[in-house]
Structures are given as structure tokens and as C-alpha cells.
Amino acid sequence: MNSKERVITALRGEQPDRVPIVDLVDLPSLVNLATTLRLPIPEPGERFAEQELACRLVLKLGLDGILMPDPLGFREIDEHRVRDRFGSVYNTSPHGDEPLLLEGPIGSLADIEGFDITSALSPEDFDAARLTRDLLGPSYPLMMWLNSPFKLSWRLCGGMQDLLVDYVKRPELVHALARATTDLVVALVEGAAGAGMDVIMLAGDIAGEQAPLFSLRHFREYLRPYYEEIVAAAHAHGLPVIYHSDGNMWPFMEDLIEIGFDGNNPIQPQCMDIAEAKEKLGDRICLVGNIDCRDLLCFGTEEEVDQAVKETIAIAAPRGGYILCSSNSIHPDVRPQNYIAMVRAGQKYGDYSS
């Protein structure tokens, strides 16, 4: 089985030859890992340096794939600020994290009327994906991270807090934002399919560790119908969709399955027990993740990482439907040696024939 077959088989809920290993690795972490592994590092600013580095890492470590970042990206305003192509402005983080939203262009229904969000897309948005396909060849799955309508909506209206207040006070605006951003995501799914992508990761955190950010009633009103459209668009092109949200997602899991998501990520270990997830959900949705990147991969030892991967595989992998992945991403505070230990453990314990 090649990596693409391995990942797709797991996403179908079936058993591949071994547990697939994928992750989202941000640019500073790619550089950290490349330095540790003595891989050549492209010059800073070189076009597609991130994709080249990611592909080198996949090949060097024997990963089954890597998530390609959101294709829309940011444009620099000045040394400290960036903007997205829809008019939202952000402070850049000195720590390499996601930029901090400062303001968005949509404050009322009037602002969104005539707001042609999909016209901001360009065929060049998928150049990085095409390059990755060329570098890795057809035996690897190309997995694309797309921000969900929830995340795109709060970016457009200036902040998550504003959007959550609008959930109660201005339902029409919430629906108008969801409509526009769903049109955008469906267009991105079409673009991704055209560029040869194999898997979509629809991402937008909607839960904290104790509870979801909002009620199941609000999920069903403001998100579910739109998520159904996106999943249907992806499935029409044969692309499986993984839903990503940190936090305690238990109250939403049955709905995510009914919507038709093929996988759920990251099954955050602080609030979702992997054994319970395997028992209650494992035969209906592929579980992707659960290796703790908040404490273990940052502060643990390589032996502790090895043990955690061994235990997680023993629980989550039987009969298939599990992809080894961190509990969010490989971020700059993850020790490179620990990520390498995680991958090596996945390869050691993930063989279904042994």
C-alpha cells in the first residue's frame, strides 16, 4: 500500500497495512526539524520554500503526508501588520503563531450585501499544491487545510466574541456571513479538487476544553446546514473531509457523523478520551490525532512519547479507522526530537501485520 492508499483506507474506516502518520507542521517547526535532521533549508523568502521543506520532511521521516496550510494566506501591510484578501487586518505574532485579528470589514448586513467574496480567489492560490504534487508524486495524499465558515465569519466581523454575541442578537447577520463564507469554501474545495488534492481538513475551533463554545441548537442553526453543503461538494469530487476542532466536541459528534464528515481531528486528549471515542465513534468516523502537543511533545521525554504512541495505537488502531497525528499541530514549542520519536513510534507500533 502506498501512503495515499493508506490514508484513504483509514478515512473510509477500514484497516490499511499500517497506521498512517500525517500532521500539520508550521514553518518555524519545519525549520527546527530540518535543522535537527540536517536537511537542506531553502533561503528565507524563496517562493514555495515551505512546501519544499515539508516534502523533504515527508520523505526523510517516512510520513504518509503533511497538511498543506490554508491557501489564502496573508499580505504584509507593514512590519507589524498583515491583511487577508477580504479586508481583515491582523497583528503579526513575534512568536510565529497565527496573526492576531484586529478588525474585520463586516459590521452589519448592509456591509455584506454585494460583498463578492469568491472574486478574491485566483487560480494561483493552488500553485503551492501543484508544486507539492510534483515533488511528492502520485503515491502521497495531498491534504489541504481550509478554514471553516465559522472561523472565516468571525474574521470578517472582527472577532469571535462579536460573532458569538451576534448568535443571540443578530441571527440574520450570522446567516449572511455563513452564506458568503460557505460559498467561498465550496469554491476552494472545487479549486482543491482541480489542483489534485486528495483530502480536505475543514478547520475552525468550536469548543473549549470544558464545553463547546455554543449550544447544539446554535450549531444546528448556524453551522450544520453549511457544513452539509461543503461536505457534499467535496464528496462530489471524491474528496474525504476531516473536521478539525480542538476541545470537548462530544456534544457535536453525532451531528458531525450525520453531516458526513469522514474523519475527526484532533480528539484532544485533555478533554476527549480516546478509548471512549473508539468505542462510541470508531466504526462511524475515522479518528485523527490524540498525541498531546500541549504538554507531552513540548515537555515530555522521547521515552514518554514512545509510550504514549504505543498506548494510543493499541486503543485506537484496531480494525482501522485511525490516523496518527498530534493533538493540534507541530508548533514551535514542540521539541523536534519528540516529534521524530512520535513518528518512529508510529512506524514501530503501527504495523497491522505484526
| Chain residues that interact with another protein, rule: CB under 8 A | 91, 93, 95, 97, 100, 160-161, 164-165, 167-169, 208-215, 218, 270, 294-295, 298-299, 333
Closest separation between CB of residue 171 and another protein, Å?
11
Q: Are 241 and 264 in contact (CB under 8 A)?
A: no
Contact 133, 195 (CB under 8 A): yes
CB 268 within 8 A of CB 209: yes
**CB of 8 closer than 8 Å to CB of 88:** no
Burial class (CB in 10 A: 0-12, 13-18, 19+), 344: middle
Q: Where are the alpha helices (DSSP H) in 12-84?
A: 27-37, 49-61
Least CB distance to another protein at residue 8 (A): 33
Torsion of CA 340, 343, 345, 346, to 10 degrees: 180
Pick between residue 62 and residue 208 the one whose CB is nearest to another protein: 208
Rounded to a whole number of angstroms, the minimum distance from the CB of residue 331 to another protein is 8
Q: How far is the CB of 181 from another protein (least distance, A)?
A: 18
Nearer to another protein, 136 or 176 (CB): 176
Q: In whole angstroms, how close is the CB of 210 to another protein at the nearest point?
A: 7
Closer to another protein by CB, 118 or 215: give it: 215
Q: Are 234 and 188 in contact (CB under 8 A)?
A: no
Q: Which is nearer to another protein, 174 or 343 (CB)?
A: 174
Q: Which is nearer to another protein, 120 or 164 (CB)?
A: 164
| Per-residue cell: 312 | 494510543
CB of 161: closest distance to another protein in angstroms? Answer: 5
- AA identity, residue 305: V
Q: Minimum distance from CB of 40 to another protein (Å)?
A: 28
Question: Which H or E run includes 244?
Answer: strand 241-244
Identify the residue whose cell numbers are 502520485: 138
CB of 268 to another protein, least distance (A): 10
Nearer to another protein, 119 or 210 (CB): 210
> Which residue carries 462530544 as its cell?
250
DSSP characters over 22-36: EE-B-HHHHHHHHHH
Rounded CA-CA distance 54/136 in Å is 10
Nearer to another protein, 80 or 280 (CB): 80
Phi then psi dihedrals of residue 274, to 5 deg: -65, -35
Our CB check for another protein shows the closer of 38 and 169 to be 169
> How far apart (Å, rounded) are the C-alpha atoms in residues 277 and 322?
11
Kindly state the smallest distance separating residue 263's Cβ from another protein, in Å: 24
Spatial CB neighbours of 104, under 8 Å, sequence gap ≥ 6: 86, 87, 88, 154, 155, 156, 157, 158, 159
Q: Which CB atom, from 299 or from 352, has the smaller least distance to another protein?
A: 299
